[in-house]
Amino acid sequence: MDVVLPEDLAQEARLAQRRQAELCRQRRIFNARNRLIGGDPEAWDIQVHDQKVREATEKARHEMLAAEMKQNDKTLCMLENRERRDRKTLCRAISDFQQSCQRPETRREFDLSDPLALQKALPARVSDSDLRNTISGMQKFLGEDLNFPVRKKFQEEQNREWSLQQQREWEDVRADQKAAEDLYTQTRLQFDETAKHLQELQRTTDRAVCTAVEEFNRNQALESAERKRQEKQQEQEANLAEIAHLLRGDLLSENPQQAASSFGPHRVVPDRWKGMSREQLEEIRLTQQQQVQEKLRLREEERQRDLDWDRRRVQGARATLLSERQQQRQQRHLRRALDSSNRSLAQEQHSQRKQMNEVYTNQPTEDYFTQFNTRSR
């Protein structure tokens, strides 16, 4: 059977993607609306969307890079401070080491100018680790360990020194930690005292404010009660005065002059008006009859105007019908002339096609014309 390779699958996928892109391009290009407009709105929208996506991606990438740069700067500052502290500690340690372990008498060239060189001269063999014990010197043999007690004692002493040094370092660290904790405790106690003092001041202020507010509210309540009492008394006095005025006034006596308005003789005060007189009612009835006659006259004029417009509309429709009939007759004459011209042209084309068929025997088929305009490129 056939073996399908990854290269074949990738090639098939590329061909399918290319065919799909070609179909999409044909749909866009062969679309009559887009072709008349002269552009590709969908492609423009896709380009605008891609541009916005690229801008948003670029903005997010810049923001991420800016945040990363800030974090890197912060980390770099911390590393620089740590390196500065480490360098200072290293310099201090080097200086202490030089003062304690690199004295002049410990230098390698000191023996060339040492005045006590002969007194300090070593014998031919000091220990098993002596560098002067060469193979040809016959000073050291396999299996010997003459320097074991000294070496063991030196190792024990060295371990003891290391333990003491580590213990001192731990004590220093604990002392520093305890000092820091004591300082933190003192600072915290000071903050607590300050907060307690501020809370006490706040409570005192709140009590004073509450006392002042209560006193103010009490005074306001007293003033409000006194004001309400005075308003009620004034209202009672005003009501009594109004009752007396109504009893002595023209309202209850039904005087027609008391309903006259100050805005004109044709207006009255509604709450004082007791109705119209007989003369006013007769005048209103006469006015109504005149209005009815005027309305009838206007209706008759409107009816005459509608009849006039109907007559004009019928005359216009008749004229339009006559004009349309005249145009139809002209169109029929033109159609007959055009048909005659088309018949003569068809006969000429038929004779010309017959002559061309006799001259050109290799005529193109439908397949020849269908092969054009099938691709977008």
364 vs 348 pLDDT, higher one: 348
**For residue 54, is it within any domain?**
yes
**For residue 48, is it within any domain?**
yes
pLDDT at position 45 is: 83
List, for residues 163-201, the tens digit of each pLDDT value: 999 999 999 989 988 888 888 888 888 888 888 888 888
pLDDT at position 241 is: 84
**For residue 68, is it within any domain?**
yes
Q: Work out how many domains the chain is built from and give that number.
A: 1
Q: What is the mean pLDDT of residues 329-346?
A: 91
**For residue 69, is it within any domain?**
yes
**For residue 51, is it within any domain?**
yes
**For residue 12, is it within any domain?**
yes
**For residue 32, is it within any domain?**
yes
- Pick from 127, 126, 105: which is nearest to 116 by CA? 105
Lowest mean pLDDT: which of 114-123, 276-285, 324-333? 114-123
**For residue 24, is it within any domain?**
yes
Read off the tokens for 29.
């290009």
- Domain carrying residue 16: 8-76
List, for residues 138-161, the tens digit of each pLDDT value: 676 666 666 778 888 888 999 999
Query: Quick check: 238 pLDDT over 60?
Result: yes
Provide the pLDDT confidence category of residue 4 given band limits of 50, 70 and 90. Answer: low
pLDDT at position 89 is: 92
pLDDT at position 259 is: 65
Provide the pLDDT confidence category of residue 40 given band limits of 50, 70 and 90. Answer: low
